[in-house]
Amino acid sequence: MSRLNLSRRSLLKAGAAGLAAAALPMGLARAQSPIVLGAVYVGPRDDFGWNQAHATAMEILKTVPGVTVIEEENVPETDAVSQSMESMINLDGANLILATSFGYYSPFVVELAKKYPDVQFRHAAPLWKEGDPANAGSYFCYLNQGHYVDGVAAGLSSPTGKLGFVAAKPIPSVLSNINSFLLGAKKTNPAATVQVIFTGEWSMPVREAEATNALIDAGCDVITCHVDGPKVVVETAEGRGVKTCGHNASQAPLAPNGFITGAEYKWSTIYAMYADLLAKGEPLPNFVAGGYHNDMLQNSPYGAGATPEAIAAADAAIADLKASKPIYVGPLKDNAGNVVIEGEMDNYDPVLDGMNYLLEGVVGSIT
């Protein structure tokens, strides 16, 4: 297994096309036989958010000859997901499982990957590491780059510079979105602050609405969020005449007056790559990740809330990200005053995957 020692960073740099060529040697057991793909979602497929982003992209796989897609939604991150995946394997003959929620990975995907070595498992979070089962893997888009662009636009669209963020749980990818949003805003308005409220749940509509109201009452005039379905947050803010940035999928239709732009996944790039490899009977890579530089992210079309200067600055920021210009440029302090980033960090530096702090300028706490 020595070829497993490909560094993750070199994989990332290679981009999606290069990845296919550099693919690791573990293939699908029956690569040439028909592919039955089981997709598991944690919520409804049309939630204006995370699950919708996946399900929309999954449509691409359905068009590949010889690929059958079976889907199950509303599967909790508990033993239930093991049962769902096992029934897909045993009853439907699934030989590729796409587990699309963070909490599915450990222990559920890991255990099943050991139990069913002939089945390939891919999981949508940067959790696979060397030493994990070779028939498991991760794919991920660094959405924080999209939130950075949101921040750049928000900094120029907010009269007060007080931005609000409704966040679900303080896990690294959420924290990175908050911090990137702040850094983007600071780029266009150095005095900008981001106030964060954690709801503690991925989907808790009433509390999300309460959090949005609390942020607006505290004076925030642009609200964004990282929860599974941003619909409630965006609609509540729009109802109170406050601008919004989106998350996961486009919420532009929900906020005709105040929508600025939003960070969106482009899972279709990864899924199309999987489909292509499957069609050719080639093995899938264990780890795929990316962002703007390899076309795995996009920002929602600008809404009425974005000022012309904001649009120009956001477009420039997207161009920078496509050129792999770093977001995290030290020295950066966390909001307790400790220096957490010394120099420049590559946008895909694995150190960032372990982010456990909020930067100076973020009002809030992760505990």
Partner 1 sequence: MMESAFITVLIAMLGGAIRVSTPFMFVALGECLTEKSGRINLGLEGNLVLGAMVAYAISFHTGNPWIGVLAAGGSGLILGALHGYICKLPKVNDIAVGIAIMSFGTGVAFFFGKPYIQPSAPRLDAIHLGDWTGNPALAQALQVNPLFFVGIILAVAMSWAFANTRWGLIVRMTGDSAASAKAMGVSVDWVRFLATAAGGFLAGVGGAFLSLYYPGSWNQGLSSGQGLMAVALVIFARWDPIRCIWAALLFGAAGAIGPSLQSVGISQGYYFFNAAPYILTLFIMIASARSKGAAREVPGELSITK
Which spans of this chain sit near partner 1 (rule: CB under 8 A)? 43-44, 46-48, 74, 195-201, 203-211, 213-218, 228-229, 231-232, 235-236, 239-240, 253-254, 363-365, 367
State whether residue 273 is helix, strand or coil.
helix
Q: Shortest distance, CB of residue 228 to partner 1, whole angstroms?
A: 8
Residues 6 or more apart whose CB falls under 8 angstroms from that of 227 comprise 49, 166, 167, 168, 199, 202, 203, 204, 208, 233, 247
Other C-beta atoms closer than 10 Å to the C-beta of 332 total 19
Rounded Cα distance between 250 and 262, Å, is 7
Q: Shortest distance, CB of residue 102 to partner 1, whole angstroms?
A: 16
| Token code pair at residue 133 | 């089962």
120 or 251: whose CB is closer to partner 1? Answer: 251
Please compute, for residue 324, the number of CA atoms within 13 A of its CA located in the half-sphere on the CB side: 12
Q: Shortest distance, CB of residue 71 to partner 1, whole angstroms?
A: 13
54 or 187: whose CB is closer to partner 1? Answer: 54
CA neighbor of 287 nearest in space, from 171, 179, 131? 131
Q: Shortest distance, CB of residue 243 to partner 1, whole angstroms?
A: 16
Q: Shortest distance, CB of residue 56 to partner 1, whole angstroms?
A: 12
5 or 367: whose CB is closer to partner 1? Answer: 367
Q: Shortest distance, CB of residue 76 to partner 1, whole angstroms?
A: 11
146 or 170: whose CB is closer to partner 1? Answer: 170
10 or 74: whose CB is closer to partner 1? Answer: 74
147 or 231: whose CB is closer to partner 1? Answer: 231
Residues 6 or more apart whose CB falls under 8 angstroms from that of 121 comprise 85, 96, 97, 99, 109, 112, 113, 133, 135, 136, 137
Rounded Cα distance between 132 and 125, Å, is 14
Phi, psi of 224 (to 5 degrees): -135, 180
In DSSP notation, 159-190 reads: SS-EEEEEES---HHHHHHHHHHHHHHHHH-T
Rounded Cα distance between 196 and 361, Å, is 11
Q: Shortest distance, CB of residue 269 to partner 1, whole angstroms?
A: 24
Q: Shortest distance, CB of residue 193 to partner 1, whole angstroms?
A: 11
235 or 276: whose CB is closer to partner 1? Answer: 235
The β-bridge relationship of strands 193-198 and 362-363 is parallel
213 or 307: whose CB is closer to partner 1? Answer: 213
Rounded Cα distance between 94 and 120, Å, is 9
